[in-house]
Amino acid sequence: MSKFLVAAVLLSLINHGADLATAWDDKDFFRYCPASKCSKHGPEIRFPFRLKSSNTSCSMTPCMELACSDQDTILVHPSLGRCKVTAIDYPNRHMYITPLVFYSSPCPLKKLFSRSIPIDAYAENQGPCPDIFLEQNMTLVCCPREFTPSSIDVADSIAGPVSCLSNATNFSYLVDSSGPISILPSDCKVCSDGVVPIAFNSDLRSMYDDGPPPFKSSAERILSFAEIKLEWREMDENIPCLYLFR
């Protein structure tokens, strides 16, 4: 294959997004963009993802780049920070991640509120995938006693108590920052305000037509510190982007 033809193929990849895999014949594509792994038992990394150290033409956006750290496969999420990729389901377009802060802290919520997870230049350079990682304002309140919300509407705006931040004389709750403070007992006080990442449904139409999910269900997902599922979908110009999907 001539140098001119190779250059033409690479240009075609850059211009045609999701048609990248068909721009070359199978032999050429897998030669330039081979599948790889960070470890023997780690997830396979292939289009639309790529390792940062590999051919830059094999992925279209920074949000589809992965890295190796020792034996782990790492995704840098602009809100959750560095996340371990535990599995990638290519047929269903799902990726499963666990934020590293969940491993490193006995109380990850404290770190989420302190904003100790760096949002670096990656978050400001998502290319054609802006505003796809959504967050919600939450307030951490401290109360001297455990309480039961007075109504269903109030209950939907409160989650907790947060076990790792509570003890016999202090009970911590997550509260929707957009709600009135009057829904809380008068002896409760604000401990911290923060912007915490939550898992919206990945269907953009339902996100805007129906609004975000109830606060309590979102907050309880955070409190569970469980594995998070991402889904990738094609945006304008057939460019794949990741969405929170839990």
pLDDT of residue 203: 43
Higher pLDDT, 167 or 106: 167
Cα(142)–Cα(121) distance, integer angstroms:
34
* pLDDT tens per residue, range 128-152: 454 444 556 788 899 999 988 888 7
* pLDDT tens per residue, range 231-243: 777 655 555 666 5
Q: Is the backbone of residue 89 left (phi > 0), alpha (psi -120 to 50) or beta?
A: beta
Least confident of 1-10, 59-68, 133-142, 230-239: 1-10
Higher pLDDT, 182 or 17: 182
Q: What is the dihedral of CA 138, 141, 146, 149, to 10 degrees?
A: -50
Cα(63)–Cα(75) distance, integer angstroms:
8
Residues 97-114 have a mean pLDDT of 75
pLDDT-based confidence at 28, cuts 50/70/90? low
pLDDT of residue 87: 94
Give every strand in the sheet of 81-89, ordered side by side: 50-51, 65-69, 72-77, 81-89, 94-99, 228-234, 240-244
pLDDT of residue 237: 54
Beta carbons within 10 angstroms of residue 98's beta carbon: 16
pLDDT of residue 121: 34
* pLDDT tens per residue, range 194-220: 666 554 444 444 444 455 567 787 777
Cα(30)–Cα(46) distance, integer angstroms:
9
User: Model pTM?
Assistant: 0.58
In this model, does residue 72 exceed pLDDT 90?
yes
In this model, does residue 18 exceed pLDDT 70?
no
Helix (H, G, I), strand (E, B) or coil at 145: coil
Least confident of 10-14, 94-98, 198-202, 219-223: 10-14
